[in-house]
A and B are shown apart, each in its own frame.
Chain A
Amino acid sequence: MIRTTRRKFLVASAVMAATALSLSVMPAQAISPRSEVGVTSTAIKLGITLPMKGSASFGYNQLPGAMKAYFDYVNANGGVNGRKISLVVKDDGYLPKQAIQNTQDLIAKDKVMAVIGALGTANNKAVASAVNLGRRGIPSLFINTGFSGFNDRKAFPTSSTILPSYIMEAKMIGKYVKDTFPGKKVCLLYQDDDFGDDALVGFDKAHGNLDFAVKVAYPSLSQGVAGVPDSWITKFKAGGCEVQIVFGVASATLYTILAAVKAQYAPKWILGSVGADIGSINPATVPYIIGATSMSFLPSVVDPKDEYVTQFKEINTKYNVGAKFNSWALIGMNTAFIAVQALKAAGKNPTRKSLLAAIDASGSKFPNAALVPLNYSQTSNVGLNGYWFGTFNKTGDLVPNDTFSYTVYTTDSGTGPVDKSSYSRPAMPAKGLPN
């Protein structure tokens, strides 16, 4: 009696498993003949994975809303070659494993055409190797990272970044500090992974050549643990730092400022671009960052005469209801703007291949709000390559000066010098829609 019951249960388990798996029916998808994954005659599906919740999500979780708003605007104006664009958003909590899982989901389950704007250096490195994007021909475009390693076309044939590399940023900060604060003690807070290591390369003897009195590396996601940011500040104070560079994600920058206020540590702040806009995350910090230095490649969010800012602000008000127009919204929309142009350039029947080819061929000519050029080409995966320096004003917005005139610097990820950029930004296409 018992032995057959046992066998029955084993077999029953197997049957249950089979039933459960097949019962999880996938939602019916359009059976129309597709020329490419994620593309139908009326729609294009894109995907993004980034931290939406949790201690690393501050600031970045506002990006998808802005991107969707721009896509809605384009869809309301005819879409791209008649196709409406949709964006599937997945939360990875800034964890590499989750980013891998999400990307697998996006590709195999949601069947997106391409991943755009994925965020995080460690995340995207893990994804590139684990998901085999290159081998499978799946584009991951305009990745929100400045990690210079992605420029390796062999290793990352279908990926491209949008931010200037961290080596570039570090070199520029190095020059700025030497010009503006000569002789002062400089200290650095950086993230303990490839993101931070890239910055270290940019600061080393061969590149930016900046020496630090105190360097503190923080493990990713440790910034939320009580007492951890305080320990950083204690070290910096003990080192007598006068100029403090914070090269971390937005939440790390936020906690650093808060801990510094508690300990009455008031150096000259230089906040790295990926995490600087903490006023948009927690308005209570605005008074503490007035006068702090940071850098951006986009025009200031409060620039009254910039046509992109005006147009995007309008789109934000109409399509991104409830969200304030801040630097996160601006960069999100700009990325979406570039993506739409790429999709348009991919042709009337876009495929993953044609999309990648379009970026190689004409990516450098896509108009966008940035004050430096895009450097996409047959040999380069790198997007932007420069910054202007400014300070935070009373409302917590970064401005170059009172007259909103920008002095933009550019450099490379190698040992080339930091020079003034002579790039003149082309006019915005009418109504902010791609031509």
Chain B
Amino acid sequence: MELSERKAAVVHKLHVTNKHRFIGFALIGLAVYILSNTVDEWKAFQGATIAVYVVAIASIILLTGYSGQISLGHGALLAVGAYTAALTQIYLQLPVWICFVAAVLVTSLFGALLGSAAARLSGPYLAGTTLALAVGLPSIANQFSFLGGEQGISFDAGWPPLSFGEAFTQYKWFFWITSLAALIMLWWIQNLLRSRYGRMWRAVKTNEVAAELAGIRVARSKVLAFTVSAGIAGMAGALLAATINNVSPSAFPLALSFSLATGAVLSGVNTLGGVMIGAVALVAIPEIASLVADRWSGSESVASLLPDFIVSALLILTVFLAPKGPIEKLRSRHVK
């Protein structure tokens, strides 16, 4: 009696929430559209970068926050997606959006391979493996000439259609493409995380043994998480390639993987809700910091160092004060 009541409540809640969620996303989409028409091209470019980070951080939240597998090497997965997109465009001459799809598929495949190797690894071993991957993978581009070497290969996301007018800069075009992709991906990811897959991953993360006993195929769920996370990261990589117009090893240094992990923690790695926070922080903080430094101190060295310092400090503060992320912190206060 109680069980079916609860079930009904859950179903009802989901049904209602889905509609609300859709409205929420539509509102965000509207906000983005309005923004894109009011900001200058530089801010549009930054907006595009934020969208890229949103997707990338979401992939880490899925893998680490939900499935409990640590990855310090998501930069490498972004690289796979970016190179796939660029190569698809150059050698197969396919339209841009198909290149994006290709990026997702190929990176998912890569993720599946990586996941099956990694499924048996725990904690520090997995961290070390992903770290080595982050350092090692981009450098392959120097070995094979079709990968473009150090200066990389170009990925052209195209120019806006002429019908949009002269004032529609290419940066705004990037902003539109990346934001649209990000919204779609987030919608899909949120669906996934609220489904039984999400619950399955959470269960495995909380207690592997209990999950196995409850009938969950632990290894499979882990590999699945890696696969999906990689696919999302591949999309982020392709979007990154679109905004920079270029795919080269130098675009995927270790620092990128660290930045993404940082962004994930700033967002609250356990839930998707705060994903924007981390992405905005990664882009906005260097901006704000250099502005502050310009106004306060004439020292150039301070100006260039302040952004890193603030991001690192913020990271540490977040880990100390809101280890489950700012959203959870607010929520728990709200509940209290």
Chain B residues, Cβ within 8 Å of A5: 331, 334
Which residue, of B150, B246, B288, has the highest number of chain A Cβ atoms within 10 A? B150
A273 CB to nearest chain B CB (Å): 21
Chain A residues, Cβ within 8 Å of B277: 13, 16
Among listed B27-35, B100-108, B115-123, B203-211, interface-contacting one: B27-35
| A258 touches B (CB below 8 Å) | no
Interface contact A96-B150, CB-CB below 8 Å: yes
A104 closest partner in B (C-beta) = B45
Among listed B36-44, B56-64, B220-228, B257-265, interface-contacting one: B36-44
Interface contact A27-B250, CB-CB below 8 Å: no
Q: Using A21-B47, A101-B244 as known contacts, say yes or no to A3 and B17 having CB atoms under 8 A apart.
A: yes
| B284 touches A (CB below 8 Å) | yes
- Give the contacting residue for A10; candidates B25, B43, B280, B284; CB below 8 A: B25
| B154 touches A (CB below 8 Å) | yes
A259 CB to nearest chain B CB (Å): 21
- Give the contacting residue for A122; candidates B28, B39, B139, B149; CB below 8 A: B149
A215 and B146 alpha carbons, distance in the complex (Å): 22
Q: Give the top 4 A-B pairs by smallest Cβ distance, nearest first.
A: A95-B250, A130-B245, A122-B151, A97-B251
Interface contact A20-B280, CB-CB below 8 Å: yes
Interface contact A11-B47, CB-CB below 8 Å: no
A96 and B171 alpha carbons, distance in the complex (Å): 19
Interface contact A13-B274, CB-CB below 8 Å: yes
| A17 touches B (CB below 8 Å) | yes
Interface contact A24-B287, CB-CB below 8 Å: yes
Chain B residues, Cβ within 8 Å of A130: 154, 244-246
| A311 touches B (CB below 8 Å) | no
A192 and B39 alpha carbons, distance in the complex (Å): 42
CB proximity to B under 8 Å, residues A54-101: 91, 95-98, 100-101
Chain B: residues with Cβ within 8 Å of the partner, total of: 53
Interface contact A3-B13, CB-CB below 8 Å: yes
Interface contact A17-B334, CB-CB below 8 Å: no
Interface contact A193-B150, CB-CB below 8 Å: yes
Q: Using A9-B327, A123-B151 as known contacts, say yes or no to A17 and B276 having CB atoms under 8 A apart.
A: yes
Chain B residues, Cβ within 8 Å of A180: none
Chain A residues, Cβ within 8 Å of B20: 3-4, 6-7
Interface contact B142-A129, CB-CB below 8 Å: no
Q: Using A14-B31, A219-B142 as known contacts, say yes or no to A96 and B248 having CB atoms under 8 A apart.
A: yes
Interface contact B21-A10, CB-CB below 8 Å: yes
B41 CB to nearest chain A CB (Å): 6
| B50 touches A (CB below 8 Å) | yes
| B273 touches A (CB below 8 Å) | yes
Interface contact B28-A10, CB-CB below 8 Å: yes
| B310 touches A (CB below 8 Å) | no
Chain B residues, Cβ within 8 Å of A6: 17, 20-21, 24, 273
A323 and B25 alpha carbons, distance in the complex (Å): 57
- Give the contacting residue for A17; candidates B24, B250, B251, B280; CB below 8 A: B280
Mostly helix, strand, loop or mixed at chain B's interface? helix
- Give the contacting residue for A7; candidates B13, B23, B35, B40; CB below 8 A: B23
| B212 touches A (CB below 8 Å) | no
CB proximity to B under 8 Å, residues A165-211: 192-194
Residues of B within 8 A of A (CB): 13, 16-17, 20-21, 23-25, 27-28, 31-32, 35, 39-43, 45-47, 50, 139, 142, 149-152, 154, 170-171, 244-246, 248, 250-251, 253, 273-277, 280, 284, 287-288, 291, 294, 304, 327, 331, 334
B146 CB to nearest chain A CB (Å): 15
Chain B residues, Cβ within 8 Å of A2: 13
Q: Using A14-B28, A97-B244, A126-B151 as known contacts, say yes or no to A108 and B334 having CB atoms under 8 A apart.
A: no
Q: Tally A-B pairs: CB < 8 A.
A: 135
With A10-B24, A16-B280 already in contact, 20 other A-B pairs whose C-beta atoms are closer than 8 Å: A7-B17, A7-B20, A7-B23, A9-B327, A13-B28, A13-B277, A14-B28, A17-B31, A17-B280, A21-B35, A95-B250, A95-B253, A96-B150, A96-B152, A97-B251, A121-B151, A122-B150, A122-B248, A130-B245, A220-B142
A126 and B280 alpha carbons, distance in the complex (Å): 27
A122 closest partner in B (C-beta) = B151
Mostly helix, strand, loop or mixed at chain A's interface? helix
B298 CB to nearest chain A CB (Å): 14
Interface contact B31-A15, CB-CB below 8 Å: yes
Chain A residues, Cβ within 8 Å of B43: 21, 24
A124 closest partner in B (C-beta) = B151
26 contacts between A and B (CB under 8 A): A2-B13, A5-B334, A7-B17, A7-B23, A9-B274, A11-B28, A13-B28, A14-B276, A21-B35, A24-B287, A26-B40, A27-B291, A91-B304, A96-B150, A96-B152, A97-B246, A100-B244, A108-B45, A121-B151, A122-B248, A126-B246, A130-B246, A131-B245, A194-B149, A219-B150, A220-B142
Chain B residues, Cβ within 8 Å of A132: 170, 245
A2 closest partner in B (C-beta) = B13
B321 CB to nearest chain A CB (Å): 18
Interface contact B276-A129, CB-CB below 8 Å: no
A10 and B273 alpha carbons, distance in the complex (Å): 6
| A262 touches B (CB below 8 Å) | no
| A424 touches B (CB below 8 Å) | no
A27 and B28 alpha carbons, distance in the complex (Å): 28
| A31 touches B (CB below 8 Å) | no
| A22 touches B (CB below 8 Å) | yes
Chain A residues, Cβ within 8 Å of B331: 5
A277 and B123 alpha carbons, distance in the complex (Å): 48
| A430 touches B (CB below 8 Å) | no
Q: Using A9-B273, A96-B151 as known contacts, say yes or no to A109 and B42 having CB atoms under 8 A apart.
A: yes
A17 and B175 alpha carbons, distance in the complex (Å): 14
| A226 touches B (CB below 8 Å) | no
A5 and B273 alpha carbons, distance in the complex (Å): 11
